Amino acid sequence: MAENEKRVAVVTGGSRGIGRAIILALAEPDLQVVFNHYDPDDVAAAETVRLAAERRCQAEGEKLDVSNYEAVQEFFRKVADRFGRIDILVNNAGITRDGFLSRMKEADWDAVLAVNLKSAFNCTQAVSRFMMKQRYGRIVNIASVVGAMGNAGQANYAASKAGVIGFTKSIARELASRNITVNAVAPGFIETDMTAVLPEKVKEAFLAQIPLGRAGRTEDVAQAVKFLTSEAASYITGQVIHVNGGMYM
Ligand code: NAP
């Protein structure tokens, strides 16, 4: 028996960074949010819950490795049983393990492909079963400018994000007849923990490539996601919206 009839959004990697900003952009009293994180220390997840509550939106965080197929299937079954529906999925969780090809470890290739790309398959396949029955759904995959441009030192990451874009377009074609839209948002250089660790020189090189002259904020990405999940975007599917200050056109 479903606990409520609010709209339900699942956001992967919602404990911090872009995922948290997406949750806060979507947050409203009529929305139930469920998000995942990976770190067993859930201080950051608790902060996301608190910030959503300030917007009178109930959010729940659960530790889940989105690259684990079985765990993901079980997670979505639980969400659908409890809440009776899943309206929105944002595949946001992602990692980097940067290095030049000549020195890249197989484990770094595998981890990035698993967390960034296989996770999108895991979560989208699981959620599509419920969305197809509902004949409604909004899926947004977080890609990256690097998936379109490439980037030296990020062959694994760029391949995973280019994969997310191809996946988005294919699934958009498969699910369109069930009133499910599938789009990607490709952020450029956004200020989060992921980019905070980059050496100053690398940050300066990124900034020099941005016509709008500043790094992106998590909210810049979140607003594009919010739009794609809204009724205003009901005729948009299979698209990639670049949020990058003009870094790639
Ligand atoms: P972030 O600050 O490092 O946050 C990553 C989030 O993903 C965290 O909530 C983390 O959970 C979660 N996560 C990591 N591995 C996971 C796993 N195996 N299972 C479940 N959750 C996992 O990253 P971000 O910068 O916000 O990036 C978010 C997305 O935007 C990623 O897909 C990234 O590739 C993409 N992106 C970012 C930028 C940028 O400049 N920042 C640019 C282009 C694209 P824990 O907190 O528990 O570790």
Q: Is 39 in the pocket of ligand 1 (CB under 6 A)?
A: yes
CATH number of 3-243: 3.40.50.720
Contact predicate 92/36, CB 8 Å: no
Quick check: CB of 71 below 6 Å from ligand 1? no
For the chain, percent of residues with pLDDT exceeding 70 = 98
157 given a catalytic annotation:
yes
Catalytic residue among 38, 69, 157, 248: 157
Distance 2 CA to ligand 1 centre (A): 30
Q: How far is the CA of 114 from the centre of ligand 1 (A)?
A: 13
* Mean pLDDT, rounded, for 214-239: 98
Domain ranges of the chain: 3-243
Q: By three-state DSSP, how is residue 187 classified? A: strand
- Tell which atom from ligand 1 comes closest to the C-alpha of 187: 43
Residue 81 CB: number of other CB atoms within 10 A? 11
pLDDT band at 36, cuts 50/70/90? very high
Model pLDDT for residues 122-152, shown as the tens digit of each residue: 999 999 999 999 999 999 999 999 999 999 9
pLDDT at 5 (0 to 100): 80
Which of 12, 15, 18 is the best mutation target for the ligand 1 pocket, counting ligand atoms within 8 Å of the beta carbon and taking the most?
18
What pLDDT is recorded for position 1?
Answer: 39
- Tell me the pTM: 0.97
Confidence of residue 4 (pLDDT cuts 50, 70, 90): low
The string of DSSP letters for 74-134 reads HHHHHHHHHHS---EEEE-------B-GGG--HHHHHHHHIIIIIHHHHHHHHHHHHHHHH
CA distance 90 to 182: 10
Which residue CA neighbors atom 39 of ligand 1 most closely? Answer: 190
pLDDT average, residue stretch 26-48: 95
For ligand 1, atom 41, the nearest C-alpha belongs to 190
